[in-house]
Amino acid sequence: MNPISRPALAMLILALTFLLGPFIVIFVAGFSADETLAFPPTSYGLRWFGYLFGVEAFQRSFVTSLVVGAGSTLAALAFGVPVAYALSRYDFRGKDALRGLLTLPLVVPGIIVGLALLDLMVLVYALPVTLGLLIGHTTLLIPYTVRVVGSSLSNLRSDIDDAAITLGATRLQAFFKVVLPNIRGGVAAAAVLAFITSFNQVPVSLFLTGPGVSTLPIEMMAYMETSYDPSIAALSTLLVLFTIAVVAATEKLLGISKYV
């Protein structure tokens, strides 16, 4: 390898600064012992991490976020895997239209998706808040699962399904015994991406959270409107570490980085 040139090195440092800068600010601020959020802090300590565990709203919304994240991820996989399979294996009328439709929530601003879902689920059907959040997030996650699972299916030759069938498997058996084991990594990658997307989701949740039920990011925004202490920075630090841990664990177990 050639030594890196000076302009390239400068660009690299600039890029890393933009990528990591905000995180470093938050990380440092989280360890502040000051009364208000400031950078750099004048004193350091763990007091705001301790404080977090006393805020009941954070605990409740953290659990809500976990439940909504896990539930909507499972639901999005249950829809997304069969759809991706159908898109990769069958020719049918309207296939391109369906593919386009499925990516729609990715290009439409979250605010608009949220508003539309609010209109439908809260105003028209008056669904309970948690159920509304689950459905809303599932809608949002399906494009991710279809895409990621689809890309790992496209790397798998389609004639292995036919081979399994001529050996006596039904189409369903062929899927579970031959296709699924070979796209395991893609499914895991889709699950992690979906869960993190749900867990960090703000615009759609904003419309769908209601009295007494809120997700963690929404609760954090609400908290910041009234208080301006370093606890938010401490919480953000924990969330970043949590996300990194989830990704690192699945990467180590399944090597998912080649799918995303």
Contacts to other proteins by CB under 8 A: 91, 156-157, 159-160, 162-171, 173, 177-178, 181-182
Considering beta carbons, is residue 156 or 240 the nearer one to other proteins?
A: 156
Kindly tell me which of 3 and 181 has the beta carbon lying closer to other proteins: 181
Query: In whole angstroms, how close is the CB of 91 to other proteins at the nearest point?
Result: 5
C-beta of 169: minimal distance to other proteins in Å? 6
Q: Which is nearer to other proteins, 133 or 174 (CB)?
A: 174
CA distance 217 to 136: 16
In terms of CB distance, is 63 or 167 closer to other proteins? 167
Residue type, 108: V
95 Cβ contact partners less than 8 Å away, ≥ 6 residues apart: 87
Nearer to other proteins, 183 or 239 (CB): 183
Please state, in angstroms and rounded to a whole number, the distance separating the CA atoms of residues 31 and 13: 25
- Closest CB 153 distance from other proteins, rounded Å: 13
CA–CA gap between residue 234 and residue 45 (Å, rounded) = 11
The CB-of-94 to other proteins minimum distance in angstroms stands at 14
Number of Cα atoms under 13 Å in the Cβ half of residue 161? 17
Q: Which two tokens stand for residue 185?
A: 């990594």
Token pair belonging to 20: 């990591």
In angstroms, how far is CA 58 from the centroid of its own chain? 19
CB of 167 to other proteins, least distance (A): 4
